[in-house]
Chains A and B, each alone.
Chain A
């Protein structure tokens, strides 16, 4: 077995967290996120520009020689924790992690440099629900022109370039100016999906789709756990904070043992999630034990994030049911995340093979 993973946060990682948190605080509160979801532009491109152009975070996974930061998954995971904590509507996971990993796999230096700068946003044209290694829907390619329709593409609405699997087994780069992007009414208001329609759109073949997508989706699944950790941590902390203030029966509601035990259980789940999320980020960074670490993280994280958001809603009670209170943003993101990059069940099925606990 491999060496023990480093499950802590380094000082640099804590400094990165603080910087991202400050930046997101400057870019508005939950009320603004909610207002934005009802506009034509649900994404916060000003925050994206500050994260990428300002801090260089879109290039964390890209080598310095190609215009990136040459950092690793551990640092990207910290960014995602904070983005999850803020349910920030920015295309970080889709562009700076998943699309970037696909481009690293095919070795397209030109696009990598553009994505690393953040001035170009990339999206992998694979349904958000797709688990690493799962079959994907493709478009038809003939003479370098793509034809077909791909639904469920996260953040396609703000993407400049799409990485598209075609029926010849290739992965193609397609300019979004050459396709039609139709927003879908999405459960997760802060990571909206779209259907992309290709009508003889010109594509440039980057390489083989299967290995590139497998790598990209594995990284996406592994680092999604850190986003889920951020969501869950917000839900727990915000609920604890609220229940110390909220009084009924002449007592703080958080003083009732039935509530305290639920919150303590939730704390325990979040503590466990932190360990598996750090484990996955560290394994991806080291390139060691990553298949198992990612599958463990995704088999565990979804349940915790959804549970945290559901508990937050129930324990906020009436106010938690309102559109005005942000808890619904977290619930919708957590529930969507439980499907994104493969459900917990899909990752458990993968583990059954990986650790030799096979089905009957």
Chain B
């Protein structure tokens, strides 16, 4: 069993062998991966040591204290949070060896080709087709949407329909798609904020070798559950100090601008401040549960809570600003590589947070998940369970 002392020893060894001050950051990250200190809960040889996940903090703290570079996790969030755990669970040995290292060190950015114009909450209805060729390869045609990072991604996790003659959940297969294939076209999708952090991705005769299929043919829906569960954990699970989220900027404005205060806004602000603190403590409790191996469904709950709070708090902030709330910082069309929900001005925060109750599972779908999986209430009556995908209403 690898314990904290062992991890400290290995971290010290890495720091001695590759002094951060004299080492190219990319080389340091590769050495860290090879030392098993990238994600310690991953297996040996794949960046980890099979250690408890909670011990990662030990390594991170030692490396941060030594001034070591990190892999800029926000830039490669989809790879780290979604692609990697899915590849780890369902990938072949060759796939794990090929993809996990460049993913973790940040050489290769990943994006997610799941949602489609006709398949949002009902993701399993997706219509992008992958057709098997005589040589065993797959040819993919279709359209994906809401794809963050597609314009910088080297790889994509992709789900596509491989059998239209069976019910929708059964005919899906999961692939690892090369974004440099000539059949992949990425177009920016401009949002209500003015910028385009998402893309539309058009797939035209994209060839994918069968060796880049992840999991069995027709088992893509089950494989995708790993991806989606990790997405919700990632979205709901950020550690925050008190006033660390959306409540921070408005609290600061309240303190610095007494002339803006009104009694109505004061009552609403205090109420939201308390709710934000309650949500923060719930997130902290979730992390403490995970650390002792009692994961709960609180992840879905956290995302629900933060979506509503972000929207209400940023809405309040626009009102608090009064005359200034009538202005907007910049409508220029941009394609940002990183998304910062609390970045920019109040108006941006207000508009961007509208997406929080849609992206990564709408709040309505998450409420169903909580009701059915946590509370054990009956699932929705289904009319699509035993119908071949090709015969569904659309």
Contact = CB atoms under 8 A, between A and B. Distances in A.
Interface of A: 1, 4-8, 240, 243-244, 251-252, 254-255, 257, 259-261, 263-265, 267-268, 271-276, 278-279, 296, 299-300, 348-349, 351-352, 355-360
Nearest to A272: B278
A260 B368 contact: yes
A274 B368 contact: no
Contact of A8 (B254, B270, B292, B370): B292
Interface stretch (B20-28, B35-43, B95-103, B260-268): B260-268
Contacts of A264: 366-368, 370-371, 374-375
Interface string B369-384: 0111011111111000
Interface of B: 241-242, 251, 254-255, 258, 261-263, 266-267, 269-271, 273-275, 277-279, 281-282, 284-285, 288-289, 292, 298, 301, 304-305, 364, 366-368, 370-372, 374-381
A276 B279 CA distance: 9
A26 to B, nearest CB: 28
Given A8-B288, A355-B273, A254 B378 contact: yes
Nearest to A7: B285
Contacts of B254: 357
Contacts of B288: 6-8
A345 to B, nearest CB: 8
A254 B289 CA distance: 29
A3 to B, nearest CB: 11
Given A7-B285, A300-B274, A359 B377 contact: no
* Most chain A beta carbons < 10 A, residue from B273, B279, B375: B375
A276 to B, nearest CB: 5
Contacts of B367: 260-261, 264-265
Contacts of A272: 275, 278-279, 281-282, 305
B284 A275 contact: yes
Contacts of B379: 255
A271 B301 contact: yes
Contacts of A8: 285, 288-289, 292
B378 A255 contact: yes
22 contacts: A5-B281, A8-B285, A252-B377, A254-B377, A254-B378, A260-B367, A260-B368, A261-B367, A267-B375, A271-B282, A275-B278, A275-B281, A276-B277, A276-B281, A299-B274, A300-B278, A348-B270, A348-B271, A348-B274, A351-B270, A355-B251, A360-B266
Given A4-B284, A260-B371, A276-B281, A240 B274 contact: no
Nearest to B378: A255
A310 B43 CA distance: 50
A252 B292 CA distance: 36
Given A1-B242, A251-B381, 7 more contacts: A7-B288, A257-B380, A268-B301, A268-B305, A276-B281, A351-B270, A357-B255
A271 to B, nearest CB: 5
Contacts of A275: 278, 281-282, 284-285
Nearest 9 A/B pairs, CB to CB: A255-B378, A260-B371, A360-B261, A275-B281, A264-B370, A7-B285, A275-B282, A264-B367, A272-B278
A252 B277 CA distance: 36
A interface SS class:
helix
A360 B298 CA distance: 37
Nearest to A276: B278
Tell me which of A7, A252, A254, A273 has the highest count of chain B C-beta atoms within 10 A of its own C-beta.
A7
A267 B374 contact: yes
B386 to A, nearest CB: 19
Given A260-B377, A296-B278, A7 B284 contact: yes
A360 B258 contact: yes
Contacts of A255: 377-381
A243 B304 contact: no
Contacts of B258: 358, 360
Given A264-B375, A296-B274, A360 B263 contact: yes
B375 A1 contact: no
Of A251, A300, A352, A357, most buried by chain B (CB within 10 Å of CB) is: A357
A265 to B, nearest CB: 7
Contacts of B381: 251, 255
- Chain B CB count within 10 A is highest, among A252, A265, A271, for A271
A351 to B, nearest CB: 6
A337 B262 CA distance: 29
B284 to A, nearest CB: 6
Contacts of A276: 277-278, 281
Contacts of B305: 268, 272
Contacts of A349: 270
Contacts of B251: 355, 357
Nearest to B280: A275
Contacts of B281: 5, 7, 272, 275-276, 278-279
Contacts of A274: 282, 285
Contacts of B277: 276, 296
A263 B368 CA distance: 10
B159 to A, nearest CB: 26
Contacts of B370: 264, 267-268
Contacts of A263: 371, 375, 377
Contacts of A348: 267, 270-271, 274
Contact of A260 (B267, B292, B372): B372
Contacts of A1: 241-242
A252 B370 CA distance: 17
A244 B241 contact: no
B263 A359 contact: yes
A240 B377 contact: yes
Nearest to B292: A8
Nearest to A280: B281
B266 A244 contact: no
Contacts of A351: 270, 273-274
Contacts of A260: 367-368, 371-372, 375, 377
